[in-house]
Amino acid sequence: MSDLLTNGHHNQRCTTRSDSLLRMLLLSAAICLAGPGLVRAQDGAPPAEPPVATSTEPMTMTGTRFDRSPEAVARATRLFHESSQAYRTAAAVRDAMTVTVIVQSMGQVSQHESTVEVVITSDSAVVQLHNEANTTTLTVLDGTMYGQWSDKPSRFFAQDYEPPITMTMFTDLIGGFVFPQFPLMFSSDPLAEIFVHTIQPEIVGMREVTLDPPADAAPETPGQTVFDILIEPEIEGANLVIRLDPDTKLVTLFEASITNVQQNEGDGTIIRVALNPTIEPDVPVEEFVVNTEDRHEVDVFDMLFAQDSLSSLIGKQIPDFEFVPVEMADVDNPGDDPADEDVATISRASLMGRVILLAFWDAPSNGLYDVLPTLTAVQKWGQEEGYVMTIIPVNFSDPMEEIRAITAGLDEPITTYHDPTHQIAWNDLMVRFMPTLAVVAADGTVLYVHEGDPKPGQSLLTKMKTAIRQAVTKDI
């Protein structure tokens, strides 16, 4: 393995189909999957920025300021990606289960038990939530979810559906529903009818926050540490914070803050909306005017993770890239290029004329340990067949200390690479899942991509072998 990986510098996709005009509306939907708790303020800490609203009760977010450094943005990007992968691999919905449903409406919070029933067919799924108040029916058909709540028809929007259902629920401005064990994503019509500016969300920072322990916890019980990811859309006065549980990588708080949105309609009507204001039970939610004629279907998963993945490049030229050997990277400045400019970096240009296998991995998912069996199997098969290829393991964006600790623990030393800018893999190559394996022909054409857990099963190996044969044949 070491020879192939060192010589010659070896080393659940989301497609936006929705009207981008609607994304801020859905991004403003607030959900809280965790129990209540206040952020613990650090002594002398300045107020957090930017201010955000809370989804169930006032929450003081004064733990720390957001870190906007390139390293923090890279870490936030990785966490964001891990959340995307976690939702795509969430546990299957059982045919019948009871969940606690917390309903937030006009600042009031109520709680009751609901029973979930799921009927799955080859081309659709029907989900019913039964409780003492009403029955909610959600129907997934042709990748779009439709539903009805309290006998008032409304639509619910979801990602492409493939059994079992593995999506997470979000609701509109005046309602919030919590399904601690039921990962299903939705949003209802009222927000989809409000016209606001187009946005291009950008991850700009993150922070670690320690929550106060539950009131009934033992005196010495430490508070839970969570991660807040700060996202800024191209809307003045707007901010979005996604809070992730560091263990499950699932969203525990989803908050949007925007001052006012105004737009003149054809009839002169002005829409003025305070999206997700701080909830004060005695203060009524600001009224808003909506356009009831033009309704749009929105893919909520794509709204959250609205980029194509590397697999969308199959059959196309791989974009330019440049990766640096971890052994030569600057430990003190992991976001910088190595001090030695003559270090043996690899790039698309330097690898032209070779069949390559790119293997992106990260530490949180044990990516290198998981991907090594597959790389070993491919290498052994390639040697037996007489194929010449270059295998390139690339770490997604972990700190240098973590990468080196992992590679030092391997039985055989290998050369692995990293992205010195923390942006090439995500922005240019559109790597969204860990690990990601890609076979690239000598002329730079992407022939095969595998995204997610690459257990060395016959199906994956067979597909990779087919792609490598195609790459070798293509270059003859």
Q: Predicted confidence band at 83 (pLDDT cuts at 50, 70, 90)?
A: low
**Of 138-142, 195-199, 309-313, 460-464, minimum mean pLDDT range:** 195-199
Q: What is the pLDDT of residues 329-356, one digit of tens each?
A: 554 444 444 444 445 788 999 998 899 9
| Co-location of 63 and 201 in the same domain | yes
Between 255-259, 291-295, 357-361, 386-390, the lowest mean confidence (pLDDT) is in 291-295
- Helix pair angle (367-385, 458-475), 10° resolution: 50
Q: What is the pLDDT of residue 170?
A: 29
Question: Based on the domain organization, do 257 and 339 belong to the same domain?
Answer: no
Query: Residue 271's pLDDT band (boundaries 50, 70, 90)?
Result: very low
Tell how strand 251-257 and strand 202-210 pair up.
Answer: unpaired
Render pLDDT for 160-187 as a digit per residue (tens, 0 to 9).
Answer: 333 322 222 322 222 223 222 222 222 2
Query: Tokens 């929007």 appear where?
Result: 157
Task: Mean pLDDT check: name the lowest of 85-99, 186-200, 250-264.
Answer: 186-200
pLDDT at 321 over 90: yes
**For residue 118, is it within any domain?**
no
- Least confidently predicted of 106-115, 242-251, 285-294: 285-294
Share of the chain above pLDDT 70, in %: 39
Q: pLDDT tier at 129 (50, 70, 90 boundaries)?
A: low
Report yes or no on 265 lying in a domain. yes
Mean pLDDT of 28-50: 27
The chain-wide mean pLDDT, for the chain, equals 56
Indicate the residue among 304, 320, 339 that finishes a domain. Answer: 304
Is it the case that residue 34 has pLDDT exceeding 80? no
How do strand 346-347 and strand 322-325 relate by DSSP bridges? antiparallel
> For residue 375, what is the DSSP state?
H
Domain count, the chain: 2
Residue 210's pLDDT band (cuts 50, 70, 90): confident
pLDDT of residue 357: 92
126 in a structural domain: no
Least confident of 31-40, 212-221, 433-442: 31-40
State the average pLDDT over residues 43-56.
32
Tell me the CA distances in angstroms from 252 to 121, 267, 396, one per residue in order. Answer: 31, 41, 24
Among 278, 304, 330, give the residue marking a domain's end: 304
Question: Does residue 129 form part of some domain?
Answer: no
Residue 434 falls within a domain, yes or no? Answer: yes
**What CATH number corresponds to the domain at position 404?**
3.40.30.10
Question: Do 345 and 289 belong to one domain?
Answer: no
Share of the chain above pLDDT 90, in %: 7
Q: Are 159 and 174 in contact (CB under 8 A)?
A: no
**pLDDT surpassing 50 at residue 88:** no
Q: How far apart are CA 180 and CA 168, in angstroms?
A: 10
Confidence band for 65, pLDDT divided at 50, 70 and 90: confident
Res 426: pLDDT? 79
- 400 inside domain: yes
Burial class of residue 255 (count of CB atoms within 10 Å of its CB; 0-12, 13-18, 19+) = buried
Q: Mean pLDDT across the stretch 139-146?
A: 36
Are residues 247 and 375 located together in one domain of the fold? no
**Average pLDDT of the segment spanning 404-428:** 80
Judge if 73 and 202 occupy the same domain: yes
**Domain end position, chosen among 288, 304, 320:** 304
- State how far the Cα of 126 lies from the Cα of 175, in Å rounded to an integer: 22
- Max intra-chain CA distance, the chain: 75
Residues 190 and 241 in one domain: yes
Tell me the pairing of strands 322-325 and 270-273.
Answer: unpaired
Q: Within this chain, do residues 291 and 330 fall inside the same structural domain, yes or no?
A: no
Parent domain of 426: 2-14+308-475
Q: What is the pLDDT of residues 272-299, one digit of tens each?
A: 333 333 323 333 333 322 232 332 333 3
Distance CA 177, CA 166 (A): 17
Domain shared by 318 and 274, yes or no: no
Smallest CA-to-CA distance from 438 within 375, 356, 315, 349 is with 356
pLDDT at position 444, please? 93
Domain assignment of residue 338, yes or no: yes
Q: Which of 38-42, 292-296, 437-441 has the least mean pLDDT?
A: 38-42
Strand ranges (E), 121-201: 124-130, 135-141, 144-149, 152-155, 175-178
Where does the pLDDT of residue 405 fall: very low under 50, low under 70, confident under 90, or very high at 90 and above? confident
Asked whether residue 160 is domain-assigned, the answer is no
Please list, in sequence order, all residues whose beta carbon lies within 8 angstroms of the beta carbon of residue 239, skipping any fewer than 6 positions away. Answer: 50, 51, 52, 230, 231, 232, 256, 257, 258
Using the predicted structure, report yes or no on whether residue 364 has a pLDDT greater than 60: yes
Of residues 236 and 434, more confidently modeled: 434
**Looking at residue 319, what is its pLDDT?**
93
In the structure, what pLDDT confidence band is assigned to residue 131 with cuts at 50, 70 and 90? low
- DSSP label at residue 211: B
- Sorted by sequence, the CB contacts under 8 Å of residue 452 that are 6+ apart come out as 12, 85, 88, 89, 433, 435, 436
**Residue 440 has what pLDDT?**
94
Same domain for 27 and 82?
A: yes
Same domain, 294 and 315: no
Backbone angles phi, psi at 75, to 5 degrees: -65, -40
Do 262 and 325 lie in one domain? The reply is no
Mean pLDDT of 421-446: 85
- Shared domain for 198 and 63, answered yes or no, is yes
Rg (CA), the chain: 24
